[in-house]
Structures are given as C-alpha cells and as structure tokens.
Amino acid sequence: MQPVHASDVDLNLLVALRALLHERHVTRAAARVGLSQPAMSHALARLRELTGDPILVRTPRGMQPTPRAEAMAGPLEQALSEIHRLLAAPGAFDPGTSTRRFHIGASDYVELAILPGVLTRVWAEAPGVDVRVVNLPMTPTEDLAEGRLDLGIGLLPQFGSPPPSGIRAQKVIEDRFVCVVREGHPTVKKRLELDSFCELPHALVAPRGQGGGIVDTALAKLGRQRRVALQVAHFLVAPHIVRETDLVLTLATRMADVLAPMLGLRRLPPPVELGGFSMWMAWHERQQADPAHAWLRAVVAQTTREGRRGRKPT
C-alpha cells in the first residue's frame, strides 16, 4: 500500500466517510449529504482504494464497519470539527472578556494627544486588554505586515504616500500650530511680531535629528530666517526647557492644550501662516477582518473624532 499524502485526499471523501459510518447504508448516506446513490457508491470505492480497507462489509445484519473503519470514526469527527472551526467566520469579539494584547507604534506627540482618551475608552470596555506602545519606526510598513505592530499612528508619508499595497490608512486627527513662551518672558508681550519672532532664540523639535522645519520653510518664503538655539529629539522635552528659558517653541495645538497650563506657558499665534497637519492610523490588510482589531480601530476613530483626552485609570 502506497503512503497517503494530504494533497492526494479529497476532503469531500471525509464527509462521505462520516455519513457512511453513521448510516451504514449507501443510499441513506447519500441522502444525508445530498449526493446521488451512484456518487456515494463511487466515493466508497475511492475510500476503499485510498485506505486499502473495505470500510463497510455486508453481514446478515446489514452493512457493518470494519475494525479499521470503527477506529477512524473518532479521529474523523475531531478532524472535521477542526476543519469547520478553521474555515468558519470568526466569532464576535467580546471586549469585556478579552485578554488581547495590542502593539501600537507612535511618537510622543501621539502618546500625549491621542492615547489618554483611547486608553480610557479601551479599559472602560475591555479591562483585560493590554497595550504596548513603541516608537513608530522610520519605515513601519514592514512591522505592520509582519505583525510586530497592530497599528501605527503618524503622518501619512511615514506609511508611504500613497501607502503601498497591503497597507490601509485612516485619518484620525487634524491639528495646527501655536507658539509658546514662558510666563514673564522679558520680550514677548501680548503678541508675536514677525521681526521679534525672527530675532528671538527658538527651540526646535526634530525627532529624526534633521534640522529645519515647517517654520523655517514658511519664513524662507518671506525671505526671513530665525535662530534655532536649541534642537531636541522629543516633543515632551522642549516645553519643559522653554519654561526655564527665553526660548520660543512652535508646537502642535493639542500638545499646547495639555502642557501650557501645566507648565505655566503662554500660547500665542505664530506671526507667519504655518497651515496644519493630519495624523493617520495605518494597519495591514490581513488585520482588516479581525473583529478585535476592528474594535481597536473603532475606538481610536471614535475617541479622536470626539476629541477626548480621557483620564488615567484608577
């Protein structure tokens, strides 16, 4: 008898075998699975050839399974049940009982502007869910594709513009820029004039370590420039330094909303038009139909749409 390989087996034969073992009658087995009697007879012949066993034999009490067939009955039921579970649509996601762990890539700006509200809603609905946040890689699409990240939240160009095949993206927030200085700044009063703005020392946040920024680009269009006296890599560091110095910092409004009252910083409109920017969440399409992942995306979208910051869990 030649060895049997899975690629050689028609799974329909397993369904026919189960019916034959249940009914022990070719015609009734055929009716059980919606086949004609000749088709079931042909299936039985193929099973006999495949296994090298008669499967069913005639006796005075009718067709009876062979010892080999009886031994196959239990594993056959288990195998077909596993196949059914494998191919069935995923069940509904129950946040209340889930212990899923999600991995999110984000900058410290996103962590401050988005995560508090997102996590408040996550833990209100799914107290057993854990979240791991890491710095969003410079090229996060590979991490999304290989499952190291469930979601990435950042500027759209970070995911590719447009995103490559297999990456889906959705806009989650829009923001603008505002300037902040410390309370009691010796030069800046009620407003920032363009001339004084260019003369004052500035702090620049450059996460990738590259100089220049949207302010420098806008000033260059006017034939002006500023002095960047300090460059740091993290959004959360610069406001603390501004509190202790006479530096001017231009940062996103959502960050200023949180940090300015906390650190005693004054908010002022920039004296040059800077426009705004959008943040996007991105994921790989293989996660698209996963109910748990769809729930997480909905939480992020709804929270950011409502503009909620939330509060820390107790």
pLDDT given for residue 309 in this prediction: 55
Question: In angstroms, rounded to a whole number, what is the distance separating the alpha carbons of residues 25 and 131?
Answer: 56
| Residues in the chain where the model's pLDDT stays below 50 | 1, 310-314
Amino acid at 307: G
Structure tokens at 52: 């090298």
Let me know if the fold of 6-87 is the same as that of 101-172+281-306: no
Residue whose token pair is 């991490």: 143
pTM score: 0.69
Alpha-carbon distance 152 to 102, whole Å? 11
d(CA 293, CA 299): 10
Predicted local distance difference test score (pLDDT) of residue 1: 47
Task: Give the bridge partners for 183, in sequence order.
Answer: none
Widest pairwise Cα distance in the chain: 109
Nearest to 236 by CA among 222, 218, 256: 256
Specify which residues 102 forms β-bridges with: 131
Please tell me what DSSP assigns to residue 137: P
**Superfamily (CATH H level) for 101-172+281-306:** Periplasmic binding protein-like II (3.40.190.10)
Task: Indicate the CATH number for domain 6-87.
Answer: 1.10.10.10
CA distance 186 to 252: 24
Confidence (pLDDT) at 210: 77
Tokens of 55: 């499967």
CATH domain 175-276 topology: D-Maltodextrin-Binding Protein; domain 2 (3.40.190)
The predicted pLDDT at position 89 comes to 61
Ranges of each domain in the chain: 6-87, 101-172+281-306, 175-276
Residue at token pair 């899975």: 6
Residue 305: per-residue pLDDT: 87
pLDDT of residue 163: 84
